[in-house]
């Protein structure tokens, strides 16, 4: 099959046409991702593909880091969550905001009335709940709803609540059981809330793809890469965007494996916004049953990816004690912004000549990321700024930016407003490693940055500007090294722990980094070594990979076509489904089994015998897996494999008792 793979990253949109039968790259192209109009970037990449090659395309597969970046940067639509079966006190007791990522201001709770096995359920009074907190419901653009024991009662409460909210408010409602199937209701709620927040993010991308294909006269199926590296139809992706939160990273792992085929490796993909790492053992990437990203703990299964805020577009600023640091926010590099809006250079020159030292990075700019439409939903200060930005980018030092009561952070979080600032991409332009855009704008940005924090003398010294670029490289290389060290350490020593290094490990890592080129011997020292390949993909990776690999003493590798590996991974992916059905023994107080409960997605059956329950679970898992595969866009040629796992525990320290059976159907 001839397939077009498209990856819409935070900075670049890549397009690759491959022959999937022999994984041969027939054509490739790149274009800037235009976030305020995604279609333009997609069309730009597609126009780089020869017309005669495009006409051979039979299928389009899309991978995107837009949902990933939205999670990392805390962006998305205004969504609210209703949880049935918990309380505000319980949410705070389990520290739901820190552990699961659920903002307390965005969740409302109500009690669950019914039995745990689903035999008795009372639907809440939804109208009374709405009247108890009207502003909560009116402010939302979308809702998530999760109910205790929904997996045991066919999600009756979630269905009724969703129907009420849709009829009452006419807004999107995400039922938790459609995107998560683990018993923990708070975890399911977090997944549903995140899904609701991401709907506008993924819809914009898919609309852009549809428009771009229509303009090129291509009428072919479109699929989206899920977080586990498999495909789903674009129609399904519109309702389940949470399943794409690691779409781009998962595609990068597939692409790297296609290009290299190494059975043991550490894969790193440095994009515009994030750096994503994954470990491959025996040809298979590590997996997780619950992706944790950007403060969100979800119940979305996928490739185990460690994502940090490090990319070509990561903001660079000085702290108030004049220490240079890499932030966590993505901004548009000054060199790229000036290529689009030449007046930015004039504004930078004016700032350099007139601005005092202020420690607030007011050489940065704001611009309108997308047309917000009806401005009446915004507060007056925010509305005033949006009206000003209709005219083009605004320097933060401009008097018009000093608007009292402005909630700039919220506008940035919602993706309405974006900043332009100094980034590693600008540093690469200064060093000559990448010079596709306006080098002079990067130089002016460096001078403004140095003047603001080190004084005008430093900003006029070319050696100081070169030193600034070197410092940015050093910060990016060390962050990449520290991330790799955390990922490798977790994989080997603490698989159930975090990849984040504690303070002592951080100091050891810093020591090893500072002495990586030092041949002197000491009474005690720290060195790291590894026996794996460090495979780098993504456009800026070659700039930072070698130093990080050197500090780890592992072999770096940049394969051919590495700069478009994500698009290759998208094109090489396929539809595959895993569906798990639980069989739970339901016991009386004496411990005797009353019956066996078979729980599939929104379906519950009961049996008196375990054998019949397991037989029904196999059939239900098979039936649901095939149905899900077809929903994701699979057609013919599907096969199914059944796996079973029994979980036991010791009762009274002596007797082995069955906790549950897990019956999994794999279709692909």
451 vs 603, which has greater pLDDT? 451
Neighbours of 170 (CB within 10 A): 7
Contact 396, 366 (CB under 8 A): yes
- The β-bridge relationship of strands 287-288 and 302-303 is antiparallel
Give the pLDDT band (50/70/90) at residue 340. Answer: very high
Give the chain's mean pLDDT.
90
Delimit the CATH 3.40.50 region(s) of the chain.
79-200
Mean pLDDT for the stretch of residues 266-292? 89
Round to whole Å and give the CA distance between 365 and 369: 12
Of 246, 311, 233, the closest CA to residue 285 belongs to 246
pLDDT, tens digit, 9 for 90 and up, residues 82-128: 999 999 999 999 999 999 999 999 999 999 998 887 778 899 999 99
Neighbours of 642 (CB within 10 A): 14
Round to whole Å and give the CA distance between 238 and 35: 18
Res 652 pLDDT > 70: no
Contact 554, 485 (CB under 8 A): no
Contact 396, 365 (CB under 8 A): yes
Point out the least confidently predicted range of 68-77, 91-100, 557-566: 68-77
Round to whole Å and give the CA distance between 327 and 541: 18
Res 272 pLDDT > 90: no
Point out the least confidently predicted range of 60-69, 172-181, 192-201, 233-242: 60-69
Mean pLDDT for the stretch of residues 544-551? 92
Of 627, 608, 621, the closest CA to residue 662 belongs to 621
Of 254, 209, 258, the closest CA to residue 228 belongs to 254
Distance of CA 268 to the CA centre of its chain: 15
42 vs 359, which has greater pLDDT? 42
pLDDT at position 364, please?
96
pLDDT at position 389, please?
95
Ranges 10-14, 52-56, 541-545, most confident: 52-56
Classify 79-200 by CATH class: alpha beta
Round to whole Å and give the CA distance between 329 and 176: 29
Res 339 pLDDT > 90: yes
Res 653 pLDDT > 70: no
Round to whole Å and give the CA distance between 343 and 622: 61
pLDDT at position 346, please?
96
Strands (E), 588-668: 593-600, 603-607, 640-651, 655-667
Ranges 291-300, 514-523, 586-595, most confident: 291-300
Round to whole Å and give the CA distance between 460 and 228: 50
Neighbours of 350 (CB within 10 A): 13
* SS3 at position 404: coil
pLDDT at position 529, please?
84
For residue 497, give the DSSP letter.
Answer: S
Round to whole Å and give the CA distance between 625 and 128: 39
pLDDT, tens digit, 9 for 90 and up, residues 377-435: 888 999 999 999 999 999 999 999 989 888 898 898 888 999 999 999 999 999 999 98
Give the pLDDT band (50/70/90) at residue 182. Answer: confident
pTM value is 0.77
Res 540 pLDDT > 90: no
Q: Evaluate the CA torsion angle 488, 489, 495, 497 in order and state its sign.
A: negative
pLDDT, tens digit, 9 for 90 and up, residues 599-649: 887 678 889 999 999 999 999 999 999 999 988 988 778 899 999 999 888
Round to whole Å and give the CA distance between 584 and 596: 6
Give the pLDDT band (50/70/90) at residue 7. Answer: very high
Left, alpha or beta for 361 (phi > 0: left; psi -120 to 50: alpha)?
A: left
pLDDT at position 612, please?
95
Contact 598, 541 (CB under 8 A): no
Give the pLDDT band (50/70/90) at residue 445. Answer: very high
Round to whole Å and give the CA distance between 221 and 232: 11
- For 280, how many CA atoms within 13 A lie in the half-sphere containing its CB? 24
Round to whole Å and give the CA distance between 227 and 624: 20
Q: For the sheet containing 394-395, what is the strand order? A: 332-333, 417-421, 365-368, 394-395
């Amino acid at each position: 099959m001839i397939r077009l793979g498209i990856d819409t990253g935070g900075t670049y949109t890549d397009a690759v046409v491959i022959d999937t039968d022999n994984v041969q790259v027939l054509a490739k192209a790149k274009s800037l991702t235009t976030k305020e109009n995604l279609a333009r970037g997609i069309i730009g990449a597609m126009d780089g593909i020869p017309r005669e090659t495009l006409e051979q395309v039979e299928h389009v597969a899309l991978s995107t880091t837009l949902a990933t970046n939205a999670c990392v940067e805390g962006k998305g639509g205004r969504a609210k969550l209703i949880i049935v079966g918990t309380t505000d006190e319980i949410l705070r007791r389990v520290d739901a905001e820190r552990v699961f990522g659920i903002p307390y201001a965005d969740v409302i709770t109500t009690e669950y009335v019914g039995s745990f096995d689903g035999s008795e359920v009372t639907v809440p009074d939804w109208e009374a709940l709405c009247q108890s907190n009207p502003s909560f419901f009116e402010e939302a653009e979308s809702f998530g709803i999760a109910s205790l024991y929904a997996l045991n009662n066919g999600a009756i409460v979630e269905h009724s609540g969703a129907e009420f909210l849709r009829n009452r408010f006419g807004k999107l409602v995400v039922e938790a059981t459609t995107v998560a199937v683990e018993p923990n209701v708070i975890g399911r709620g977090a997944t549903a809330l995140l899904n609701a927040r991401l709907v506008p993010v993924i819809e914009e991308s898919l609309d852009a793809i549809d428009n771009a294909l229509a303009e090129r006269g291509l009428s072919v199926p479109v699929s989206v890469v899920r977080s586990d590296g498999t495909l789903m139809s674009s129609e399904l992706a519109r309702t389940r965007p949470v399943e794409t939160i690691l779409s781009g990273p998962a595609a990068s792992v597939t692409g790297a494996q296609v290009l290299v085929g190494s059975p043991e490796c550490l894969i790193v993909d440095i994009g515009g916004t994030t750096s994503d790492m994954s470990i491959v053992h025996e040809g298979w990437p590590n997996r997780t049953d619950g992706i944790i990203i950007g403060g969100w703990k979800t119940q979305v299964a996928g490739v185990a990816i460690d994502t940090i805020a490090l990319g070509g577009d990561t903001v660079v600023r000085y702290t108030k004690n004049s220490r240079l640091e890499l932030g966590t926010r993505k901004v548009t590099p000054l060199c790229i912004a000036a290529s689009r809006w030449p007046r930015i250079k004039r504004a930078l020159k004016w700032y350099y000549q007139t601005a005092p030292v202020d420690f607030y990075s007011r050489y940065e700019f704001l611009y309108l990321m997308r047309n917000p439409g009806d401005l009446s939903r915004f507060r007056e200060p925010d509305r005033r700024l949006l009206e000003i930005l209709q005219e083009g980018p605004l320097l933060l030092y401009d008097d018009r930016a000093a608007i009292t009561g402005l909630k700039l952070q919220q506008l940035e979080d919602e993706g309405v407003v974006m900043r332009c600032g100094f980034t590693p991409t600008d540093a690469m332009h200064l060093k000559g490693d990448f010079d596709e855009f306006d080098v002079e704008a990067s130089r002016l940005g460096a001078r403004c940055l140095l003047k603001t924090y080190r004084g005008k003398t430093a900003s006029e010294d070319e050696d100081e500007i070169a030193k600034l670029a070197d410092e940015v490289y050093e910060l990016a290389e060390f962050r990449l090294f520290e991330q790799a060290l955390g990922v490798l350490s977790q994989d080997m020593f603490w698989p159930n722990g975090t990849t984040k290094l504690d303070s002592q490990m951080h100091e050891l890592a810093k020591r090893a980094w500072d002495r990586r080129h030092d041949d002197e011997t000491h009474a005690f020292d720290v060195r790291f070594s590894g026996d794996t390949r460090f495979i780098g993909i993504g456009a800026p990776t070659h700039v930072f990979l070698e130093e990080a690999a050197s500090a780890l003493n592992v072999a770096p590798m940049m394969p051919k076509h590495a700069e478009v590996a994500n698009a290759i991974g998208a094109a090489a992916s396929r539809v595959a489904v895993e569906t798990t059905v639980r069989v739970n023994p339901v016991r009386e107080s004496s411990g005797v089994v009353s019956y066996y409960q078979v729980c599939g997605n929104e379906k519950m059956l009961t049996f008196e015998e375990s054998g019949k329950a397991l037989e029904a679970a196999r059939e239900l898992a098979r039936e649901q897996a095939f149905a899900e595969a077809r929903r994701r866009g699979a057609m013919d040629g599907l096969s199914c494999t059944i796996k079973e796992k029994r979980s036991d525990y010791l009762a009274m320290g002596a007797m082995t008792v069955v906790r549950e059976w897990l019956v999994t159907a794999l279709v692909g």
